[in-house]
Structure 1
Amino acid sequence: MSLEMVEDIKEWIYEASALIKERLSSPLIVEQKTSAADVVTNVDKEVEAFFVQKIQQSYPNEKILGEEGISEPVEDFSGRVWVIDPIDGTLNFVKQQDHFCIMLAVYENGVGRLGFIYEVMRDELLWGGDSIGVYINERKITTVKKQSLADGIINVNTNMFVANSFGTKDIAEKALAVRMTGCAGIAFKEVILGKENGYLSCLQPWDYAPGKILAESLGLIVESLDGKALDLKAQSPVLVAGVETYEDIKNLVHH
């Protein structure tokens, strides 16, 4: 991964952020996907198309996996694959005009190389990778706070909590406090910054791809609650946590 690529991606993210903020002043076109809470807007599609165009111009003939399916489907993950979530937390974007992110990841032969999570309304860019380190804006993150489950805040998916999927409700009851952000990017960011010590949610690849790269670069654990390997072609119940919280949670997980 070249520094030129890193700078390209940062520039695109800031351009996309300006576009999103501009569009917030106009009525959104909102479509329902799988449920009333699972929505897509004209801005999601426009931003993904923007990234696809930029990638194809600067890095032609590379594979692109995007949430809104603007580019050709990705059949395998050989070579370089770009993973895009143009607006992570679309329901928050629609209802709150806040608490949403732009997310992008770069994989090579199935291995995560670069991850970017940009919380638009806070102008916070979490970025980096295993070979360059992890940064929040321009400040390098070198350590992650170590805490047990009982000593910190965990973030969980609402549906998993209500249904007690994998024991999520039981796990939450053992934590000091619980949050439900409704945005995977923000949840990953909070864990990486040490503000929360775990996150459990059922996620699509574009929801966790950037966060996984960044978290693992700092020694955090990211894996599927069902014991299967995380697959960039499928939805998975994802856990991200530090070692102590991870051990506490794994002892409480049930299927």
Structure 2
Amino acid sequence: MTEKMITEIKGWMQEAAVFIKTSLSTEMAVSQKSGRTDLVTNVDEETQALLIKKIKEQYPADKILAEEKGYSTIDSLAGRVWIIDPIDGTMNFVMEQENFCIMIAVFEDGIGKLGFIYDVMKDELCWGGKGIGVFLGEQKLIQPQNLGLSAGLLGMNAYMFGEDIHCAREIGHASMGVRVSGCAGIELIAMLKGNHIGYVSNLSPWDYAAGLVLLEEFNFLYSTIEGEDLSFSGREYFLAATPKAYNEIRTKFLDK
């Protein structure tokens, strides 16, 4: 089942990516959700519909948690749950036409089994699962070094850094440097490659679910920024990092 599911998901993501790339040459409908910087397009909604259709055809009994169109809440993570972000980094998609991802996670009874993060314009798929390992395309990645905060770059949410939410500036200044991509998927790929030692942001479940599966395979630590378990409900201040950097951030800056 796992190999079949992996092959299916990869195919679905490729099909979704072709649809998204094709849409870049057409006029898209852009609207606001919570405000002018929280955008959704018809392409987000149509990509999600495409992926949900594929899942329902093959796994009709499974539950789905996704960003758009009435799928954004779920009663529990019991059973098998698919967690989808059709376009992670919609602002980048609209304004830059790059630096956005498709993300899919498969959880079973609250345990992450498979995670897929696809940087569409780079054609770069980071994927893996529990006991499988982490891959970039067909290349198996090696677990990154357990570097401390001062030894690595840190991905961060721009608003958190600008407004110094939860000591974000102090944490950032203690690192080798802050990087802001505006896309959780890209930040998570950077961690899995060993390019960044951590990520601090304000995320919804579909922003982090696929990444959690892969981070666990490499023994990264993650939680809410307050150190609590992630709830998979609504937005949460999110922290993930190498064990050394995570513990430094928690003890030096957040547990004062």
Detail structure 1 runs of 4+ shifted over 6 Å in the superposition.
none
Alpha-carbon contact 1:171-1:253 (below 8 Å) kept: no
> Structure 1 length as normaliser, TM-score?
0.97
The letter of the residue matching 1:208 is Y
Indicate if the aligned counterparts of 2:73 and 2:233 stay in contact, CA closer than 8 A.
no
Q: Shift in Å at residue 147 of structure 1?
A: 1.7
Q: Is the 8 A contact 1:149 1:245 kept in 2?
A: yes
Q: Residue 202 of structure 1 corresponds to which residue in structure 2?
A: 202
1:9 aligns with 2:28: no
Unpaired stretches in structure 2, ≥5 consecutive residues? none
Query: How many percent identity over aligned positions?
Result: 41
Deviations 1:15-44 (A, max 9, x none): 000000000001111001112111000000
Aligned counterpart, 1:36: 36
Q: Distance in 2 between matches of 1:72 and 1:148?
A: 35
**Which amino acid in 2 is paired with 1:11?**
G
- Superposed counterparts of 1:72-83, under 5 Å: 73-83=73-83
* Structure 1 partner of 2:65: 65
Query: Cα offset for 1:254?
Result: 5.4
Count residues with an aligned counterpart.
255
Counterpart residue type for residue 24 of structure 1: L
Report the Cα distance in structure 2 between the residues aligned to 1:166 and 1:103, rounded to whole angstroms: 27
Greater mean alpha carbon deviation, residues 63-72 or residues 111-120: 63-72
The amino acid of 1:229's aligned partner reads D
Aligned counterparts of 1:194 and 1:72: Cα–Cα separation in 2: 31
Return closer, same or farther for 1:159/1:72 CA change in 2, 3 Å cut-off: closer
Cα offset, 1:135, TM superposition: 0.4
1:129 matched residue in structure 2: 129
8 Å CA contact 2:143–2:192 kept in 1: the answer is: no
Corresponding residue SS for 2:27: coil
Gaps of 5+ in 1: none
| Residues 162-215 of structure 1, C-alpha deviations (whole Å, 9 max, x = no match) | 221111111001111111110000001101111111100010000000001101
**TM-score normalised by length of structure 2:** 0.96
Aligned equivalent of 2:224: 224
Letter in 2 for 1:102: I
Deviation at 1:14, TM superposition (A): 0.4
